[in-house]
Amino acid sequence: MFVDSHCHLSFPELSAQLPQIRAAMAAAGVDRALCICTTLEEFEEVHALAMGHDNFWASAGVHPDNEGITEPTVEKLLELAARPRVVGIGETGLDYYQMEERKGGRSVADMEWQRERFRVHIRAARQCRKPLIIHTREASVDTVAILKEEGEDGSAGSAGGVFHCFTETMEVARAALDLGFYISFSGILTFKSAADLREVARFVPLDRLLIETDSPYLAPVPYRGKVNNPSYVPFVAAQVAELRGLSREAIGEQTSRNFEALFSGVTT
């Protein structure tokens, strides 16, 4: 009934507990999950999860915040995207969050390497016609601008995709929707401090909405502060349901249909 559209089961906090997590998913009615790649070095492990379990799928990409790793090329991403059970390109995008503290005082101008990496992912996605999995943090203006510059405007030939773990404003949500993208909400939606984000979740059309955990991070209330896992995604569905005046099951069914519409080949 429920799909976790974005999780990191290859991360050590979760990989060692995979049998228990899968049992918890089954008990919670979470029947599918998309395992997200964040470095080329990690890809084989992520892909093995998808190949080893008939309700897991994989993406291919390099997270915008990762440095000191193998840089992706369009050719390499296309090679990985052609593997069985790889259904998306990413996690990719831009992350300008706390650059001075985290990145040695660098400015937005200094982040051209992130912007070029993002363009590489967009070009690969457009060639293989697989959706982009977008991460944007304090960089929405450039994220939207680059998507448009690279032809991702919702027209024929667009790869499309999803703005995952959405935490941006209503204005950014409208821009993403105008470009033909889906919007995915995580456990952040359940936090007391997320009132503005809940308004965005009320606004996003039901047929363009996804839910996720982004586990092992961002566990929803009542598990906030603990290690997250895909079995908790129904708590995100429940929050969306409350906002929309629908049942948790209705949100689960709708977001599952949306997942299938966006990511080709993910039906069980």
Integer distance in angstroms from the first to the last C-alpha of the chain? 11
Distance, in Å, from the CA atom of 228 to the CA atom of 217, rounded to the nearest integer, reads: 6
Distance, in Å, from the CA atom of 171 to the CA atom of 92, rounded to the nearest integer, reads: 21
How far is CA 114 from each of CA 8, 11, 17, 102, rounded to the nearest angstrom? 21, 23, 33, 14
Residue 159 and residue 131 in contact, taking contact as beta carbons nearer than 8 Å? yes
Residue-level pLDDT at 100: 59
Residue-level pLDDT at 66: 94
Amino acid, res. 69: I
Amino acid, res. 238: A
Nearest Cα residue to 35 out of 9, 1, 66 = 9
Nearest Cα residue to 160 out of 187, 180, 134 = 180
Residue-level pLDDT at 220: 98
Nearest Cα residue to 230 out of 49, 76, 42 = 49
Distance, in Å, from the CA atom of 13 to the CA atom of 268, rounded to the nearest integer, reads: 27
Distance, in Å, from the CA atom of 86 to the CA atom of 84, rounded to the nearest integer, reads: 6
Mind listing the pLDDT tens digit of every residue in the chain (268 residues)?
999 999 999 999 999 999 999 999 999 999 999 999 999 999 999 999 999 999 999 999 999 999 999 999 999 999 999 999 999 999 999 999 866 565 666 788 888 999 999 999 999 999 999 999 999 999 999 999 999 999 999 998 899 999 999 999 999 999 999 999 999 999 999 999 999 999 999 999 999 999 999 999 999 999 999 999 999 999 999 999 999 999 999 999 999 999 999 999 888 6
Q: Domain 2-262 is of which CATH architecture?
A: Alpha-Beta Barrel (3.20)
